[in-house]
Amino acid sequence: MRKFIAAAVLLLVMGVGLYLSVFYGGFYLRLGERDGPSVPFRTEGISFQRWNGQGYDAMLLRGVDISSSLPGHYASSYAPTEADYLRWLEAIGEMGANAVRAAAILDDDFYNALYAYNTSHTQPLYLLQGFGVSDSAGFGSKDAYDKDFLDALLRNGRGMVDVVHGRKNQAGGMTRDGSSYRKDVSPWTAGFLVGTEWSPDTISYTDHSTLHSGVYQGTYFQTTAEATPFEAVMAQVMDGITHYETDKYNAQRPISFLCAPSHDFLEYEEIYARQLAKHARTDPEHVVPLPSMEAGRFAAYQLYDFCDSFSIRLSAGQRQTLGPLLEGLPTSEPYGGYLELLSRYHTMPVIAAGYGFSSSRGAARLNTPPYDERAQGQRLVEISRALEASGWAGGFLSTWQDEWERKSWNTAFAAAPAGQYLWHDLQSEGQNYGLMAFEPGAEDACVVDGSPGEWSEGDLLMERDGLRLSARYDAEGLYLLLEGVSREERVYLPLDLSPEAGGAACLSPALTFQREADFLLCLDGTDNTRLLVQERYDPLRERFLYETEGEDPFLDPPARDSGRFVPLGMAVQNPLLVENLTPETRALQRLGVWETGKLVHGSGDSSTEQYSSLADFCFGADCVEIRLPWLLLNVGDPAAMGVHRDYYQYYGVELKQIKTLWVGAAREGEGDAIPMASLRVKGWKRLEYRERLKESYYVVQSSWKGGDSIAVAS
């Protein structure tokens, strides 16, 4: 009996050990000889191809990036359920897409949903699966040969292969509660992509090291004589992942590494390279497949505004190397002919691994006003058509859903570093790239359409001289309803949020307030309505005065009782390039300023002709509805009702929790101090939300499913 128990225990231990080794450690044994690998997808010349059971058909990838981002959660919490992903995939398929890209490994709910979708639809959604390294490794102080970089890439890549083949367990920490990947989605996995984002500094540091060479000779990939050390790392990873999948699963599929304009193969003249911070170069042509790699490789580029005039900024050596490839570039096309050049240059299929436009209220680039949702969709379609006209093998829109936790360079300073996922910042470009929006609340707090039907007496703050002022708020902003007003008259609405800022008087327009006001909303018709801020409470001055005007904001800060209220601006990139760098030309390159406090008139009701997703206010019959985003009011943490404190006392942005804010209203010409009424405000730790397909979704759908037929490169 003891022997039996011992044997049973031994077998159990061996079984558990084998299970852990196979599903957690990736252990496998290759037994016997096999036929050649299965190649469900391959590249041939500049064509991306799919096996149809009889032969290979050329295919064009029209896809969208998808992530694990949901309001109320960090993306690393992997909050979306299988039902969420399946619902999204249905909408993506209905849009006319035939592919999705996962930039990194998601939890098992996504792959279960993809399997369920593809086994129930005649037109599947193909997968471009990416993987990378942690931010600490990718943007750290070591080069790409460090074990935290190279070893992690190889380890994560092997795990990715097991994931798509449905033979992987993932312990908690990397996914929501740990994941058990059991659905084999490899029949629809079109390719692998190494890297989610590369730091140009890491690339340069690796390439300038004297410890490494650009030589790599593998089983499936090797480098050319021109390759750099970083490209040799990419070759080693691509070779290792292909070897692992071929050896373990007897399968291959195309693979690439991620490129971007900030580290593509182009070399600029030194004067322009310095201004563009273009010091890193990568070229997929320097990593070539060997005959054993039957699936081939492709080039993958992120696309974004970088240098539309690139063709006249290249170094003499680069122009000589490219020669006739530069002739006749369509410089008036998106990205100044960049798409056409990449298509001409590469001997392999080229795919856009992420391109997008934000529908945020805020701007990010000089002379590029914010896009409403319709314009967002039109720009996406413009790029899609340009890609296909240039012979690219496809592209992926970025992104499927808005991502509330993302930050933008020109607004991040003003928001609390934690808890961003609990509220939606309409000002931040990074949060609003999605084709699907998340609307806070079980229902709208206010549809800004000039119709007061959703308002109640409980929202009323004050009634005076024929004016009735009501207020509400949600996770996006503060909403005001002012009744008894027409679009022909001027009305002033002071707002007091911070107990440490504001002034009791305004010099222009000449007004006084019963409380110290931080902001002054000047209601002046459909084209001249704007929000002003008391100059000491102006976040642009404190954070970006040096970058915009070359002055130190702390040398002579405005007085707290200053009567100057100034337009609300936000810093935007200045893409100007100059022929020589002098103090005078450097001054021309300072950051620009976009008046974000100028409010947009329109209707938030999508069923009307006046609809605009950027609408801030809308006049109705004897009333006006107004939306003021939280960050526009210096509320850096709405979920905790944290407002900015005095910048010059605390040397930057610090937050103070409030429980009350004050709003007033008075017509132009009233001589008395404008009275202000209080609104009790309370934060939240959880929130409800609703999904909404943006207008951009339907613009893309009209193109992809309607007039634009699929033409493929061959």
Q: In this prediction, what percent of the chain has a pLDDT beyond 70?
A: 93
- CA neighbor of 628 nearest in space, from 620, 617, 612: 617
Q: What is the pLDDT of residue 714?
A: 44
Model pLDDT for residues 504-560, shown as the tens digit of each residue: 999 999 999 999 999 999 999 999 999 999 999 999 999 999 999 999 999 999 998
Model pLDDT for residues 440-498, shown as the tens digit of each residue: 999 999 999 999 999 999 999 999 999 999 999 999 999 999 999 999 999 999 999 99
Q: What is the pLDDT of residue 706?
A: 81
Q: Is the pLDDT of residue 18 over 80?
A: no
Average pLDDT score over the chain: 93
Q: What is the pLDDT of residue 283?
A: 98
Contact present, 478 and 633 (Cβ < 8 Å): yes
Kindly report whether the global pTM for this prediction surpasses the value 0.85. Answer: yes
Q: Is the pLDDT of residue 12 over 60?
A: no
Q: Is the pLDDT of residue 431 over 80?
A: yes
Q: Is the pLDDT of residue 713 over 50?
A: no
Model pLDDT for residues 551-610, shown as the tens digit of each residue: 999 999 999 889 999 999 999 999 999 999 999 999 999 999 999 999 999 999 988 888
Q: Is the pLDDT of residue 2 over 90?
A: no
Q: Retrieve residue 583's tokens.
A: 């103090």
Model pLDDT for residues 490-507, shown as the tens digit of each residue: 999 999 999 999 999 999
Which of 137-146, 164-173, 314-323 ranks highest by mean pLDDT? 314-323
Residue 78 pLDDT class (50, 70, 90 cuts): very high
Where in 474-578 does DSSP place strands (E)? 477-483, 491-496, 503-506, 511-517, 519-523, 530-534, 565-567, 570-572
Q: What is the pLDDT of residue 16?
A: 45
The mean per-residue pLDDT over the stretch 10-37 comes to 58
Model pLDDT for residues 201-224, shown as the tens digit of each residue: 999 999 999 899 999 999 999 999
Q: Is the pLDDT of residue 25 over 60?
A: no
Q: Is the pLDDT of residue 28 over 70?
A: no
> What stretch of H or E contains 180?
strand 179-181
Q: Retrieve residue 407's tokens.
A: 């930050």
Report the DSSP pairing between strands 179-181 and 255-259. unpaired
Q: What is the pLDDT of residue 6?
A: 58
The mean per-residue pLDDT over the stretch 302-315 comes to 96
- CA neighbor of 128 nearest in space, from 216, 209, 47, 65: 65
Q: Is the pLDDT of residue 19 over 70?
A: no
Residue 14 pLDDT class (50, 70, 90 cuts): low
Local structure of residue 706 (DSSP, 8 states): I
Q: What is the pLDDT of residue 142?
A: 84
The mean per-residue pLDDT over the stretch 688-705 comes to 96
Distance of CA 311 to the CA centre of its chain: 27
Identify the residue whose tokens are 């002739």: 327
Q: What is the pLDDT of residue 30?
A: 56
Q: Which residue has the higher pLDDT, 707 or 364?
A: 364
Report the DSSP pairing between strands 126-131 and 99-102. parallel
Report helix, strand or coil for 430.
helix
In angstroms, the CA 499 to CA 285 distance is 60
Burial (0-12, 13-18, 19+ Cβ within 10 Å), 585: middle
